[in-house]
Amino acid sequence: MGRLHVGVRLRLISSPVLVFHTNEGGLKQTGTHRTVRLLPTDPFTPRFCYRRFNLAPMRADEMNSQAQAVVDRQRRLGISPISDHDHRIMRLLQRVSTWFGNRDPPAVGATTDGAIPGPEGDLPVRLYRPDGPGPYPTIVFFHGGGFVLGSIGTHDWLCRQLTRETGAVVVSVDYRLAPEHPFPAAVEDAYAATQWAADNPDRLASDGTLAVAGDSAGGNLAAVVALLARDRGEPAVDYQALLYPGIGISDDQASVRENDGIVLSVADLEWFRECYYDGDIHQRNPYADPANACDIGDVAPATVVTAGFDPIRDGGVAYAEQLDADGVDVTHRHYPDMIHGFATESSIDRAEVALRAVASDFAATVGDES
């Protein structure tokens, strides 16, 4: 482990987000109800000692009003529950929802739709370039949607905002979807796109910095690509941003039980599993779920974002702890009053806040490495 220290001094401030940061200086937590910075005074405190103090709840007393409006809208449009529909109908409903949520997209320097070589033919991508002259960092982004839904279109607002906040070229990948293309198709596409980005710095006006990012299922893919890059020795990934990642999900987790039906239901989670894994044996593969890996040390530094009203919250929390235990620099940013998928919603102010925080972590990480 070696990154967290105990024996702490406590200082209370207030903040709308919980931050659990592990590095040489110890663990820092900030919270909605109260904030505690844990500063090292001796080297023997157990990992994540803040749990002993019960300093702040993982879920706020009330959902953020803007997040509640999104939940209500999804129910009116028939998007929730997801498992009630054929996957093709759900993809159509998502397009309608995207149109409502992204009618005034934030401006970036330029966007370009194209295709790159993939494992099974052309792989569609959308490139987002920031304003101003390069060179730029590169972020390869994988959209969410349970490996079944989602597209470069559904995550256009998020990628635009990520470009604006980070000043990076964002390569958004339209990887193959299940059930037509079950595991490992999405993983193969995600890794191929990341390798392509590393191999084409001139085309991307890259400064040599390479990161991976994704939300939900895309967060899973980003973590898997970081793991594959470590295991295969290439490409060199400098940072990973995992937004409410679909990692280590179990039906017996408290978050699954207490948030059942909020954006995602237990039935939805099972539906996604059946579509993607196409058999129980794949669920134990660490490249299907990196929580299965015996050791995730030496992967890229990470930011893990979780949300209080998210059924898959606890899997993300556990993965942040697993990263820390294996010696990876990780910042865990928790939003107690948020829902699954909030970072894609332009109507939720906290989405922009969260992406700005990710950009700050990214800049700090690559700045430390330069």
Residue 125, classified by CB atoms within 10 Å of its CB into exposed (0-12), middle (13-18) or buried (19+), is buried
Cα separations (Å) of 142 from 172, 216, 289, 350?
Answer: 6, 9, 15, 21
**Alpha-carbon span 274 to 220, nearest angstrom:** 16
Pairing of strands 39-42, 6-9: antiparallel
- H or E segment and range at residue 232: helix 217-232
Could you tell me if 219 and 242 are in contact, meaning their C-beta atoms sit under 8 angstroms apart? yes
DSSP track, 131-189: SS-S-EEEEEEE--STTTS--TTTTHHHHHHHHHHH--EEEEE----TTTS-TTHHHHH
Is the separation of the CB atoms in 345 and 351 below 8 Å? yes
Backbone φ and ψ of 65, nearest 5°: -65, -35
216, 255, 265, 346: which is the annotated catalytic residue? Answer: 216
Joined tokens for residue 219: 């967060």
d(CA 327, CA 1): 5
User: Is-catalytic flag, 310?
Assistant: yes
Q: Which of 156, 310, 314, 324 is catalytic?
A: 310
CA distance 321 to 172: 28
Q: DSSP state, 304?
A: E
Given the residues 314, 334, 340, 346, select the one marked as catalytic: 340
Please list the active-site residues.
Answer: 216, 310, 340
